[in-house]
Amino acid sequence: MPTQNNQQEKELPQVLILRTTFVFQLYEKEFHKKFKVLKAWESPLPIESFIESEAQNVEAIFCSGLTPITKDIISQLPLLKIVVTESTGLEHIDMGECKRKGIAVTYAGSVYAEDVADMAIGLVIDVLRKISMADRFIRNGLWPSGVQFPMGSKVGGKRVGIVGLGNIGLMIARRLEGFGCTISYNSRKKKGSTPYKFYTDVVEMASDNDVLIVCCSLTEQTRHIINNEVLRALGKDGVLINVGRGAIINEDDLVECLIEGEIAGVGLDVFEHEPNVPKQLFTMENVVMTPHRAAFTKEGFFDVFQLVMGNLEAFFSDKPLLTPVPVPIANE
């Protein structure tokens, strides 16, 4: 005879998770209170077999940016109606197939924007003022030795070009205004409501600025948009920061320009082939790196958890979704 708990579980709406996510790890108990979670990664079966045996009636998938939601996955779920991702980026989801099949997609929207903007500013300050380099200088016992630590560069008054003036880009710009920086930007189209100078060409913008900050989406149009020509236009005193996606920068060109001294320094939170990082960067004092953690704060993940739960509850209650992805997708 089924227990009351089993009966309640059967009545809960089903959510398929192919691979665990950061939000799910933090708030798993809360998920189980409201949904019957199908955890594919815990099954000994291959994903395809698990879906065939356990998930044919699933209407909702929850995922992170590390879980590809491909055309093949979608085709195996005939009742799928919504994909909820905890990420801001959407490159892991086959948006064309979702649109073709009328599958809704929700994302993190602007929830991570403040945290990513803070990290971008932190990287700018670190690279220009050589904070990480100074920390290593002391830890390695060089201060008492009489070795002179090199001077950094002032943050205030710098000319900063932002690649992608979406939610994150705007928050970066507003923070930089507090330093007295001059802001310009390159984006998919001109933003009529902003006071910043607009560039249609990234090379031209790089040549006119001291710092270039990348925070746009990764698309076929933006892949490797930061290349040898852009880096050399930025110049020997220029600094590059990336809090967008690794593949927006051509890493081979970046390594080459750093080795040749064609740019002054870089701050990177993302890399083209994560978690693999070009080994040449490890010994470069003018390179500051963080392991794709710009959005990782306790407060930010709690906000995303609430957003994910809100979107799932809205879907199963037939209410308006909180953060549906607009179609066509606006890539900043």
Annotated catalytic residue, options 245, 251, 262, 272: 245
In whole angstroms, what is the distance from residue 28 CA to residue 20 CA? 10
Across 173-234, the runs of DSSP E, i.e. the strands, are 182-186, 197-199, 211-214
Q: Is 313 helix (H, G, I), strand (E, B) or coil?
A: helix
Is 299 annotated in the active site?
no
Annotated catalytic residue, options 48, 52, 274, 285: 274
C-alpha dihedral (200, 202, 208, 212), degrees to nearest 10: 130
Ramachandran region, residue 224 (left: φ > 0; alpha: ψ -120 to 50; beta: rest)? left
Of 208, 172, 166, which is closest to residue 187 (Cα–Cα)? 166
DSSP 282: G
What spatial distance separates the first Cα and last Cα of the chain, rounded to whole Å?
A: 56
Is 313 annotated in the active site?
no
Q: Is 11 helix (H, G, I), strand (E, B) or coil?
A: helix
- Taking each helix axis from N to C end, the angle separating 131-139 and 113-129, rounded to the nearest 10 degrees, works out to 60
In whole angstroms, what is the distance from residue 44 CA to residue 46 CA? 7
Number of H helices, E strands in the chain: 13, 12
**Which residues share a beta bridge with 61?**
16, 83
DSSP 143: T
Q: Which two tokens stand for residue 316?
A: 């199963």
Q: Is 161 helix (H, G, I), strand (E, B) or coil?
A: strand
209 neighbors 233 (Cβ within 8 angstroms): no
Nearby residues of 179 by Cβ (< 8 Å), 6 or more positions away: 155, 156, 157, 158
Is 188 annotated in the active site?
no
**Which residues share a beta bridge with 212?**
161, 240
Annotated catalytic residue, options 92, 129, 159, 292: 292
Known catalytic residues are 245, 274, 292
